[in-house]
């Protein structure tokens, strides 16, 4: 892999999106299986090493989906629950957006099968988006765009990933941070306004990716071979790889500037923002960003202690965990949602979540 310094700072004019008469109605999440404590990995990686990882990441356990359970399975579970809780039926939706990096098949797209499993009408638009850490904010962008269509009243946004099978069992870093989960969000025509910015920098794609298995590098017997990496972990070319130092640098160079920008675009000040909900990568990154933008701890929550990094699910899951813990602020009129990571892809949305019903996680 070529190593060279990259400038990740935003350049030129931002592509801003402004959505009038849009509302995020409700959010639900699901976590598979039971928590897997990281201390159980002490015999594999060393007790002291595990303790250091827990201290730096803030992650004490993760949820791992049972063999045979797919991201779409989790999304169907939480979508059905959310539809029922909101007093709706599957026929009340005009579009379905499914955001994942772990689809059911290479082809076709998974969203049409979810449409059928949920019992939605056949005249709905169903589409897949392949995004990871920024997937929730990109999914909200797509759902909001659909709601701008005259005949589209309501969109089901499903965001979920089962990434743990892509992590090598002997990977000293990723094995202790990656977890599985899924979410459902109802986006519909309403009375609120949201402002968003979205960025892409594919020059850093190799800092967080799976090298083989696609058409760029097709599967071969050699791609299954585990290789000892410089960080002491083992990975094959079919495993997820991450350059942690580069991802940290990317986050610190892009996210604070992006947050400052989106707050200004919304016409707010940072002091007026009720909550900053960021992609839950790890405690180190979140605390570093929080200090750089200068906001108090209660306004930028770290909610990954029992879930780990759940990729595109982490933003709605953080909100669900706050509800579960009784930590949601009284006012949600000014909320910034921010995703960043694999791609490299990043984005933020400033939204009014007043009236949005956020439910505690389902444990399935």
232: confidence class by pLDDT, cuts 50, 70, 90: confident
In the structure, what pLDDT confidence band is assigned to residue 155 with cuts at 50, 70 and 90? very high
Mean predicted lDDT score pLDDT of the chain: 94
In the three-class reduction of DSSP (H, G, I as helix; E, B as strand; rest coil), residue 312 is classed as helix
Is the CA virtual torsion 340, 343, 349, 354 positive or negative?
Answer: negative
Q: Is the pLDDT of residue 297 over 80?
A: yes
63 tagged catalytic: no
Measure the CA–CA gap between 151 and 172, rounded to whole angstroms. 50
The separation between CA 332 and the C-alpha centre of its own chain, rounded to angstroms, equals 20
Using the 8-state DSSP alphabet, how is residue 332 labeled? -
Can you give the residue ranges of every domain in the chain? 19-193, 196-354
For the chain, what is the total number of helices (H) and then of strands (E)? 8, 17
- % of the chain residues with pLDDT over 70: 96
The fold for domain 196-354 equals Peroxisomal Thiolase; Chain A, domain 1 (3.40.47)
Angstrom distances, CA of residue 187 to CA of 5, 105, 279: 40, 26, 20
Given this model, what pLDDT does residue 15 score?
65
pLDDT at 2 over 90: no
Please give the pLDDT value at position 29.
98
Q: What is the pLDDT of residues 267-293, one digit of tens each?
A: 999 999 999 999 999 999 999 999 999
Q: What is the mean pLDDT of residues 247-258?
A: 96
Provide the pLDDT confidence category of residue 332 given band limits of 50, 70 and 90.
very high
Q: How many CA atoms lie within 13 A of 149 on its CB side?
A: 14
Q: Which of 133, 147, 152, 338 is catalytic?
A: 133
Catalytic residue among 309, 338, 352, 356: 309
Query: Does the structure show a pLDDT above 70 at 9?
Result: no
Catalytic, out of 279, 282, 352, 356: 279
> What is the pLDDT at residue 352?
96
Which pLDDT score is estimated for 1? 29
Q: Is residue 352 flagged as an active site residue?
A: no
198 pairs with which residues across the strands?
347
**b/e 215-254 (16+ beta carbons within 10 angstroms → b):** eeeeeeeebeeeeebeeebebbbbbbbbbbebbebbbeeb
Strand (E) positions, the chain?
16-31, 35-37, 61-63, 95-99, 125-129, 154-161, 181-189, 192-200, 208-209, 227-228, 234-235, 241-242, 275-278, 335-341, 345-351, 357-358, 362-363
Residue 11: band (very low, low, confident or very high) from pLDDT cuts 50, 70, 90: very low
- Is residue 30 within 8 A of residue 74, CB to CB? The reply is yes
- Is the pLDDT at 3 greater than 60, yes or no? no
pLDDT digit string (tens) for 24-76? 999 999 999 989 999 999 999 999 999 999 999 999 999 999 999 999 999 99
**DSSP line for 208-228:** EE--SSSSSS---GGGG--EE
* pLDDT for 331 beyond 90: yes
pLDDT (0 to 100) of residue 36: 95
Give the residue from 203, 174, 206, 205 showing the smallest Cα distance to 1. 206
Candidate from 145-149, 229-233, 238-242 with smallest mean pLDDT: 229-233
| DSSP H stretches of helix in 119-243 | 135-147
Predicted model pTM: 0.94
Residue 279 falls in the annotated catalytic set? yes
Instruction: Quote the CA–CA distance of 6 and 243 in Å, as a whole number.
Output: 14
Q: Do domains 19-193 and 196-354 have the same CATH topology?
A: yes
CATH architecture designation of domain 19-193: 3-Layer(aba) Sandwich (3.40)
């Amino acid at each position: 892999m070529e190593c060279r310094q990259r400038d990740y700072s935003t350049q030129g004019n931002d592509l801003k999106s402004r959505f009038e008469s849009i509302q995020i109605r409700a959010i639900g999440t699901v976590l598979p299986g039971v928590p897997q404590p990281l201390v159980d990995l002490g015999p594999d990686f060393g007790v002291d090493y595990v303790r250091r990882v827990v201290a730096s990441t803030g992650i004490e356990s993760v949820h791992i989906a049972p063999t045979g359970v797919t991201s779409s399975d989790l999304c169907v579970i939480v979508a059905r629950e959310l539809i029922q809780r909101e007093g709706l039926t599957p026929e009340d939706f005009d579009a379905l957006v499914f955001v994942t990096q772990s689809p059911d098949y290479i082809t076709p797209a998974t969203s049409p099968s979810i449409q059928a499993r949920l019992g939605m009408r056949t005249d709905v638009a169903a589409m897949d988006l392949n995004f990871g850490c920024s997937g929730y904010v990109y999914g909200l962008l797509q759902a909001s765009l659909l709601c701008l269509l005259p005949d589209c009243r309501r969109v089901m946004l499903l965001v979920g990933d089962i990434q743990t099978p892509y992590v090598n069992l002997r990977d000293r870093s990723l094995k202790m941070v990656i977890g599985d989960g899924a979410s459902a969000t109802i986006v519909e025509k309403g009375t609120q306004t949201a402002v968003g910015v979205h960025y892409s920098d594919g020059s850093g794609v190799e800092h967080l990716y799976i090298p083989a298995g696609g058409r760029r590098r097709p599967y071969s017997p050699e791609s299954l071979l585990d290789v000892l990496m410089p960080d002491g972990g083992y990975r094959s070319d079919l495993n997820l790889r991450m350059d942690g130092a580069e991802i940290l640098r990317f986050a610190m160079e892009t996210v604070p500037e992006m947050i400052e920008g989106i707050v200004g675009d919304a016409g707010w000040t940072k002091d007026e923002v009720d909550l900053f909900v960021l992609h839950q990568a790890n405690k180190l990154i979140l605390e570093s960003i929080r200090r750089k933008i200068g906001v108090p701890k209660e306004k930028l929550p770290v909610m990954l202690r029992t879930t780990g990094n759940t990729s595109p699910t982490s933003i709605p899951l953080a909100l669900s965990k706050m509800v579960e813990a009784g930590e949601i602020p009284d006012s949600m009129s000014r909320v910034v949602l921010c995703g960043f990571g694999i791609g490299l892809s990043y984005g933020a949305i400033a939204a009014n979540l007043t009236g949005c019903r956020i439910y505690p996680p389902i444990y399935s």
